[in-house]
Structure 1
Amino acid sequence: MTRVLVSGGTGYAGRFIVEHLLASGYKVTVGGRTAPQPDFFSRNVPFVPLRLDPEADQIEAFDNIYYFVHAAFDHLPGKFRGGEGDDPDGFRRANLDGTVRLFETARDAGVRRCVFLSSRAAYGPQPLGTLLKEDMYGKPETLYGEVKLQAERSLLSLCDHGFVTASLRATGIYGPAGPGRRDKWASLFEDYLSGRPVPPRSGTEVHGDDVARAVRLMLEADAVRVNGETFNVSDVLTSNREILSVLQRVTDCPHPTPEGDDRAINAMGCCKIGALGWMPGGKALLERTVAELAADMATTSQPPPAIGLYSAVRHI
């Protein structure tokens, strides 16, 4: 079995990647600042310390590693855009300089493929109605997006026939967060179920399992088709209103859903990765996941004080 090192494997996206690769027969090692709790993954996973530090010599972390998936990112809790807080220099040093150093170390250690988890933010603002495609010129307006774009370009400069590289521009990732963690919609669901006002919002989303399948595709596809390439990873265009409409239906909650969001959101074109066989779960997976998250809330949370626990959660 092939061994893969996943940096940031205990993060929100990283956990999906680790679990999917384990289920697909890979030997996975998790790299990060702290080791995961013993029950965080479905089985025991080796851990190696790994930091986003451009000065650190961390080549030993890549011993016997064939593939490297870089999903680690250093930011303020709960924030990516604006995740630099009041330390933009430290943010850039860790997430750009530290990332590039890991890419170089992986190459020098003999790693054969490297997959970088980038972001939609690398595109920056584009004219409304534009389909975001990988050959467009990126003009990010946030430091987060700029760092992701520059890291993509640095990885591209390192690729050759012996070091195959690919970047995945993922949109918002949803799905269960893992043992002891709150999923990204937990506060949204709590506000709605408790009758608190919920603002309108629209955005593009993709399930973490679909991101993980895209990562595995980069590891297994013909090197000629992925080397030095960037691929969009996005699925549904949705809104708080649509998400909470599903929650309303499966919980019988009496509260009205928020107004729709009239702001236009540019979709991401995924024909490029689709040509390699990637197919996300679409609206059906979104609805099923909302129902599952609602069921989890019903079994792990106390009833909202104003309205009590709804009598049933209907699975769809």
Structure 2
Amino acid sequence: MTRVLVSGGTGFVGRFIVEHLLANGYEVTVGGRSPPPAGFYPQPVSHVPLRLDPDADQTGAFDDIYYFVHAAFEHVEGRYRGGEGDDPTGFRRANLDGSVRLFEEARAAGVRRCIFLSSRAVYGDTAPSLATETSPVAPDTLYGQVKLAAEDALKSITDHSFVTTSLRVTGVYGVAGPGRKHKWSDLFSDYLAGRPVPARIGTEVHGDDVARSVRIMLEAEPAKVSGQVFNVSDVLTENREILSFLQTATGCPHPLPPPAGAAEFKSMSTEKLRALGWAPGGREKLAATIRELARRR
């Protein structure tokens, strides 16, 4: 059985990765400051202490680890862009310098593959209307700058024995873990209470589809993925559509927000990832997930 270390495995996205890998026969170790709560995953997982600290020697966390999936990220709760709060230096030190230290330790410990969860934020506002992996990158937030710098650092230590890939992930949705709130919890509460909801548009991908892209990177031929980046995105949606699914599921009579308009929104092409067999759930999965979230209220 192949052992995978997932940093940030108790986070919103990390939990999907852990559960997907467990369901597909991997032995998973979760790396983080504290062990996952009892019952957080459908089956027990091991835990090793791990933190984003460039001064810490954490090589021992990689003992007997075959693959490393780096999903940990320190930020102000609920915010990625702007997640540095009032401490941009600490934000960069943890998320860039701390990540690079983990990459280097994984390589030194003999880890075979390293998958990094990056972000669509690396493209910035100058991206074309449909960004491909070869589009210019010009991040206009510290979040995007840190993600891009970490991508570059990981690629620089790639070799035949250390296969690396960065996944540029868009907004992620899905049912949250036990005791956690899903990303649209406040949006749903506002709508159901009749409070005003702003028009907003964005791209989304289900957490399990992100996890599936991770597994593809772990199982693909090295020549097809090593040292490369892949976009991970699915549907372009807006608050009006999201809440229309909720309205249908609940019978709520409140009016929907106005259309946001998609003409100026910049999406990402996922043809490169789809060529490796990735097929996300699309609007059918979006609607089904919102029905499930409504049922769990």
> 1:164 aligned to 2:163?
yes
Separation in 2, partners of 1:141, 1:280: 28
The C-alpha deviation readout for 1:9-42, integer Å capped at 9, x for no partner, is: 0001000000000000000000011111011111
2:131 aligned counterpart, secondary structure: coil
Structure 2 match to 1:203: 202
Structure 2 match to 1:77: 77
Unaligned segments of structure 1, at least 5 residues: 298-316
Structure 1 match to 2:283: 283
> 1:231 aligned to 2:230?
yes
> 1:119 aligned to 2:105?
no
- Superposed, which structure 2 residues align to 1:305-316 within 5 Å? none
The 10-residue stretch of structure 1 (256-265 or 199-208) with the greater mean CA deviation from structure 2: 256-265
Separation in 2, partners of 1:112, 1:41: 25
Question: TM-score normalized by structure 1?
Answer: 0.93
The amino acid of 2:41's aligned partner reads F
Separation in 2, partners of 1:49, 1:242: 41
Deviation at 1:262, TM superposition (A): 2.6
1:197 aligned counterpart, secondary structure: coil
Separation in 1, partners of 2:185, 2:282: 21
- Superposed, which structure 2 residues align to 1:184-203 within 5 Å? 184-203=183-202
The C-alpha deviation readout for 1:121-154, integer Å capped at 9, x for no partner, is: 0111125x62111111210010000000000000
Structure 1 match to 2:150: 151
Count of aligned pairs between the two proteins: 296
The C-alpha deviation readout for 1:59-105, integer Å capped at 9, x for no partner, is: 00000000000000001111111110111000000000000000000
The amino acid of 1:181's aligned partner reads R
- Superposed, which structure 2 residues align to 1:56-135 within 5 Å? 56-126=56-126, 130-135=129-134
Separation in 2, partners of 1:275, 1:228: 17
Question: TM-score normalized by structure 2?
Answer: 0.99
Structure 2 match to 1:312: none
Separation in 2, partners of 1:265, 1:24: 36
The 10-residue stretch of structure 1 (258-267 or 182-191) with the greater mean CA deviation from structure 2: 258-267
Separation in 2, partners of 1:266, 1:124: 9
Separation in 2, partners of 1:188, 1:227: 39
Q: CA RMSD in A?
A: 0.8
Unaligned segments of structure 2, at least 5 residues: none
Structure (1 or 2) with the larger CA radius of gyration? 1
